[in-house]
Amino acid sequence: MKVATYQTDPVLLDIKANLEDTISKIHHAKENKADLIVFPELALTGYFVGEKYHEVALQIESKEIKKLTLATKGTAAIVGFIEESKSMNFYNSALIAVDGEVLFAYRKLNLPNYGVFEEKKYFSNGKRVSTFRLLGYNLSVFICNDMWHPALPYLGICQKADIFITIFNSSQGSMGNEFNNIESWKIINRFYSRVFGIYNICVNRVGIERCFEKRERMKNTEEDEDAPYRFWGGSEIINPFGKQIAKAELYKPDMIFAEISRDLLRRKKILLPYLRDDEPHFTCRELNRILYGKK
């Protein structure tokens, strides 16, 4: 299976421009025979949407989503966007579209609510870790902070995932000067591949945005109210042995391609069968004991 990833620089709050750019890249990837095309978290809106989140939210039935889905005829794509449900809840979601049809939208489960992050202020949490089949592989999708909670990737593995799709928006400065986001994501991406024996397709964005909510709070202070956050890109594809097989540029839009090998997945399971004796029923039983005191 041939995979393409595009680390984009979305225009903040401009659905039209971002949608056109995304569709253009899907067509480009199809010309290069890509079977799966992956875009970053919130690729259709940008990250710091603030209180305007509802102005750029899309329902699955919207004309924009239908246009995007139609472009996937003959391939598959995963695209980050803000989803509005029929009950008017809003989610940080990833659209999964295959061969011109919507499979589902994965909704981010762990919403950060610290530092410059205020997702929980605007978005609802997702409710499940789902997998889907594509060309004989099982895939699990995760969005950014989901990967900082190891129980969630494990739930993907319990559903026999072969490939993780990790989409995120990671910027410099968002976690302070004592925390290196680039280094941390490098460790996370490789950790899950090595321990679980899966491919990890990791897609970050690039560009500069300003945190509008923070800017409002910082008025009349000595801090720079227009402090920008620079998204660093560096998207990568990691094989089941934790080895990088494709790497995008830092700080500028880029695309990468890679081939997914079933033989390599099989070889990892034979040489290092970490999960052969894993017992999800034991995990479930222990959680029941811990949470509810059940023996």
- Rounded to whole angstroms, the Cα distance separating 7 from 243 reads 20
- Rounded to whole angstroms, the Cα distance separating 232 from 63 reads 31
- CA dist list (Å): 177 to 174, 180, 213, 222: 9, 7, 20, 18
Give the active site residue among 25, 41, 118, 214: 41
Residues contacting residue 99 through CB under 8 Å, at least 6 positions apart: 72, 73, 74, 75, 76
Give the active site residue among 25, 30, 108, 214: 108
DSSP 13-81: T-HHHHHHHHHHHHHHHHHTT-SEEE--TTTTT-S--GGGGGGG-B-TTSHHHHHHHHTTTTSEEEEEE
Q: In what order do the strands lie in the sheet with 137-143?
A: 131-134, 137-143, 163-167, 199-203, 236-238, 244-247
What six digits make up the tokens of 251? 């700080």
Angle between helices 151-158 and 181-196 (to 10 degrees): 30
E strand or H helix at 253: none
- Rounded to whole angstroms, the Cα distance separating 130 from 112 reads 21
Residue (of 157, 162, 125, 126) closest to 261 by Cα position: 162
- Assess whether 41 carries a catalytic annotation: yes
Tell me how crowded residue 283 is: count the other CB atoms within 10 A of its CB.
14
Q: Are 229 and 208 in contact (CB under 8 A)?
A: yes
- Assess whether 144 carries a catalytic annotation: yes
Give the active site residue among 25, 30, 84, 144: 144
Residues labelled catalytic: 41, 108, 144
